[in-house]
Amino acid sequence: MRVSEFDYALPAELIAQHPAPERTASRLLHLDAASGRIEDLAFTDLPALVGKRDALVLNDTRVIKARLAGKKASGGKIELFVDRVLGARDALALIRSSHAPRAGNELIVGDGARVTVIGREEDLYRVRFAQDVAQVLERCGAVPLPPYIRHAPDAADAKRYQTVYAERPGAVAAPTAGLHFDRPMLQRLQRRGASIASLTLHVGAGTFQPVRVEDIELHRMHKEHYEVPRATMDAIAGRRVLAVGTTSLRALESAALGGQLRGETDLFVRPGFQFLLVDRLLTNFHLPKSSLLMLVAAFAGLDTIRRAYAHAIEQRYRFFSYGDAMLIERAR
C-alpha cells in the first residue's frame, strides 16, 4: 500500500490546542466497522456501551519531562529530547543542533548537568549523563508536547498531558486515549461489571513521526519497551477486549504474536494485520500519513476509516492528542 492512501485534509482549527475543560467532556464517535454505522456520542456515554463481558486494558506509563534545553561545550545551542531511558545514567535521545554532534562531544543541559555523546544508533544518539537521568529530567526538563501543539507547556499541561492512572515513568508522549478518563468514570465502568486491567508501553518519540516512505512495507517503527502482567492476561481471558489506546493494542498484540509478556516491540500494524486479542479500540483521531492512522485502518478497514474521518471533520470533532475520542468495534 502507498502512504498517500492514508492522507486527508484537516482544517487547522480542528487541531485541539488545549484539553477539554474536564477530562470526560470530550465527544465520542462510535464506529461499528462491520456495519459501517456511526454514532455521535459524548464520552460520558461510554459506560452504556460496556458491560460484564468487557475487559478494558489501560496503559499505565507515565510521561517524563523529556525535553532539555542546553548547549555544546563549545557554546552552540542544542535541544536534547530523551526518547528512552536505558539505565541510571544512560539514554537514547534526539539531539537538535546546527551541526550533528560526534561521539565524545560534551553537552551542558538544564542547570549545568553534563551529558556525553557516546555514539549514533540509527537516528538516535546514545548519551551518558554525569548525574541520574531521571533526576535531571524532573529538575530541568519540560513536558514533551507534540509539535502540532503550538503553545509552550505550562502547569496545566503537566497535569492534563498525563493519565490519572499513570504510574510507571518512561514515556515521552502520553497514551492519549487515556486522557479522557477520570476516577469517577473508571468507577462507573467497574460498576457496569467491566474488568479493568493495565499494562505498560513506554511511548517513544517515533509516535510523532510521519511515515516517510511511499511504500508502507518499507517503514520501520522505533522500538518501545512493553510489559503485560500475567494478571492482565488472566483478566482478559474469555472477555471482549477493549484496548484503551493504540499503545495498549500494540502491547497486547505483541505479547500474543511473540509469546513474550515483556520486552521491546517494533510492531507495525497496517492493513492486512491479523488481530489475535483486541476486539474494541478506544482511540483519538490521528495524523495523516501516520502509522497510527494505518493501525486504525487495519482495525476498521481503510474505506470505513476514511468515511468516519470525513464525518468527524464535517461534524467539527477535535483532533489529535487533546482532541475527541473514537470507539471502534473491529471489522471481522
pLDDT higher than 80, residue 70: yes
pLDDT tens sequence across 244-261: 999 999 999 999 999 999
Pairing of strands 106-109, 113-121: antiparallel
* Residue 49 CB partners (closer than 8 Å, separation 6+): 30, 327
Does domain 3-63+155-329 sit in CATH 3.30.465.10? Answer: no
Residue 164's pLDDT is 98
Structural contact between residues 330 and 283, judged by C-beta atoms closer than 8 angstroms: no
Mean pLDDT over each residue of the chain, to the nearest integer: 95
Per-residue confidence (pLDDT) for residue 323, from 0 to 100: 98
Q: Tell me which DSSP letter residue 216 carries.
A: G
Q: What residue spans define the domains of the chain?
A: 3-63+155-329, 67-140
Is the pLDDT at 165 greater than 90, yes or no?
yes
Cα–Cα distance for residue pair 50/193, rounded to 1 Å: 8
Q: How confident is the model at residue 229, as a pLDDT?
A: 98
CATH class for domain 67-140? mainly beta
- Model confidence at 211, in pLDDT bands (50, 70, 90)? confident
